[in-house]
Amino acid sequence: MKKYIVFLILLFCTSTIFQSCGQAEEEIIMQNYPKIDGSTSSLPIIQGIYKAMYKPEIIDGEKEWSGLPETVSQTIESYKMLIDGTVDLIIVPDPSEEVQKLAEEKSVELEYIPICLEALVFITHKSMPVDDITTEELRNIYIDGTITNWQQLGGKDKKIMALVRNEDSGSHALMEKFVLKGDKLSEAVNENNMMMTMIAMVEKIENFVNAQTAVNLQDDRDIWFPLGYTIYYYLQNNKDEQKWDNVMMLNVDRVKPNDETIASGEYPYTTNYYAVVRKDTPSDSTSRKLISWLLSNEGQKIITNAGFGNIKQ
């Protein structure tokens, strides 16, 4: 009888750990919860999954999750950890050429399951009177170096400072996919223009005009004016909190990036975020069950609440 009571107590304690998540609640428990990592921008999704699976503690009337993930390893590092088997599941944008080569070298096949919508966007300071840019013009800036002045794009007579992300970033992987397309950056785009984080890229543009007006230059035309790129939903989800009031997204090939054009695929740099596992991950693993749940209506609410595009729109 005592053993039966102890069993009931343990059963009750285990069941109260989790929220009501349908089949995921029954099959994913604390002992087999997969190790999840991902890109900087996917942290809200990873946290949303955790909150959906675990019940919070109530401390001073506030909900708190003691084990809530607070950081991620970022895109390329999380890919490397998945390839090495250190983590079970990652939520990331497209892989870079470096990741694809590494997986091939280690004879690891990765499986990509689209779970939400995302897009690569190009940004500049709102004081630059340019609304549109084309893929060809971007290639002329970043690859050929034949466009070097904003005036060539219909803007002010300012040199273009073509900002780039580090090659082991998810943003650069999307740059490879949509703009570089197998070509390399021109020598004119050097390490001085490299931003090591997404927030550094956006803040460089947000604060650029104030920084430049403080510089005493004899010829106003010598002022470099920035062009950069980032991830659409990252920008949307953080602009109010970070007070990014001066950052402007450019239309690409005459299509404005917004929720509607990304959902329809009309915006040319529309992509997905993926739940990625090793292809040899068993079909009955908790990682695959969690992915199936993410693709359900209930799971897609986590995606929407995290500020990303619902893949079922």
Summarised one tens digit per residue, pLDDT across range 127-166 is: 999 999 999 999 999 999 999 999 999 999 999 999 999 9
Position 305 in a domain: yes
Q: Where are the beta strands (DSSP E) in 32-173?
A: 36-38, 57-59, 62-64, 89-92, 110-125, 132-133, 159-162, 164-165
Low pLDDT (below 70) residues in the chain: 1-31, 191, 210-222, 313
What is the count of structural domains for the chain?
A: 2
pLDDT in the model for residue 133: 98
Position 1 in a domain: no
- 240 and 140 in a common domain: yes
pTM of the model: 0.83
pLDDT in the model for residue 30: 61
Burial of 133 (0-12, 13-18, 19+ CB in 10 A): buried
- 124 and 38 in a common domain: no
Which residues form the domain of 168?
119-270
Give the β-pairing of 57-59 and 62-64.
antiparallel
273: left (phi over 0), alpha (psi -120 to 50) or beta: beta
- 39 and 57 in a common domain: yes
pLDDT in the model for residue 217: 41
Q: Token pair for residue 61? A: 């009337």
Picking from 54, 46, 10, the residue whose alpha carbon sits closest to that of residue 29 is: 54
Picking from 16, 66, 73, 68, the residue whose alpha carbon sits closest to that of residue 47 is: 68
Please work out, in degrees rounded to the nearest 5, the angle formed at the alpha carbon of residue 225 by the alpha carbons of 220 and 228: 180
CA distance 281 to 287: 8
- 226 and 297 in a common domain: no
- 209 and 243 in a common domain: yes
pLDDT in the model for residue 239: 94
User: At 227, phi and psi to the nearest 5?
Assistant: -130, 130
- 222 and 84 in a common domain: no
- We report the CATH number of the domain holding residue 220 as 3.40.190.10
- 235 and 132 in a common domain: yes
Burial of 105 (0-12, 13-18, 19+ CB in 10 A): exposed
pLDDT in tens, 66-112: 889 999 999 999 999 999 999 999 999 999 888 999 999 999 999 99
